[in-house]
A = this chain, B = another copy of it.
Amino acid sequence: MAIHVTVWNEFFAERNDPAVQATYPQGLHAQIAAGISRLEPDALVVRTASLDEPGQGLAPEVLDTTDVLFWWDHERRHLVDDALVQRIVDRVHCGMGFVALHSAHFSKVFRALMGTSCRLRWRNGSDRELVWAVSPNHPVAQGVPFPLVIPAQEMYGEFFDIPVPDELVFISSFSGGEVFRSGCGFYRGQGRIFYFSPGDQDYPVYHNEGVLRVLANAALWAAPAAKILDQRYAPEYSAHDWFIENPVGGYERR
């Protein structure tokens, strides 16, 4: 059963900065989509979406058929509609996977899911980044070099103001000596969230095979389980007088 992935990108620098355009002529979302499709052709069905498309790329018919949403934003993140943010958050709570990339640590969606400021330190100085698995048996770390070497990257450093990750998979070091929790899994409601920090637009990070392996793994890991709690009441309990809040307001008996 294929997993439907949508890779969303603000798609701005690639159209306005010649250096970025040279690295990602079709946008970094296109590069990511092609890469993870190539690595997992049987498991993943991948499409792209971006900010300037109708419905900011995520009209209901797109979002409602997405199993895992990848997200990259930066300078244009303030333009993402708050109602769309809420729809995405609700859908994660109902089981959709969400993979936040690099500067999406500060996206509206990721911050709403974390409940923290998500602040961090950074320096755009072409540091070498080494990504080390501290949970080497984790599904997202399978097939990834140890360490994963990224010759040039923007530095992201601690303190990274996130909740303690439910699963800490990768820790990075940088030429300057800084460290960063660069690969983190979270569970929120029925949904799984993975944050992976490598991927600044100024460097060809998404051309790195090891990085693409991480992203393909993250798509597989974040895909929703087939079954949902509410359909599994024991017959002994069907007569119980339970109430439960509805996500959209009010409550019902079940």
Contacts and interface: CB of A to CB of B under 8 A. Distances in A.
Interface string A18-49: 00000000000000000000000000000000
Q: How many copies does the complex hold?
A: 4
A144 B229 CA distance: 9
Interface in A115-132: 115-117, 119-123, 125, 128, 130, 132
A80 interface: no
Interface residues of A, number: 73
B188 A163 contact: yes
Interface in A153-203: 157-161, 163-164, 166, 168, 171-174, 176-179, 181, 186-190
Given A95-B137, A133-B158, A142-B227, 12 more contacts: A106-B245, A113-B115, A114-B115, A122-B242, A122-B243, A123-B240, A125-B241, A128-B177, A130-B177, A146-B229, A149-B234, A173-B174
Interface of A: 89, 93, 95, 106, 112-117, 119-123, 125, 128, 130, 132-137, 139, 142-149, 157-161, 163-164, 166, 168, 171-174, 176-179, 181, 186-190, 225-229, 232-234, 236-237, 240-245, 247
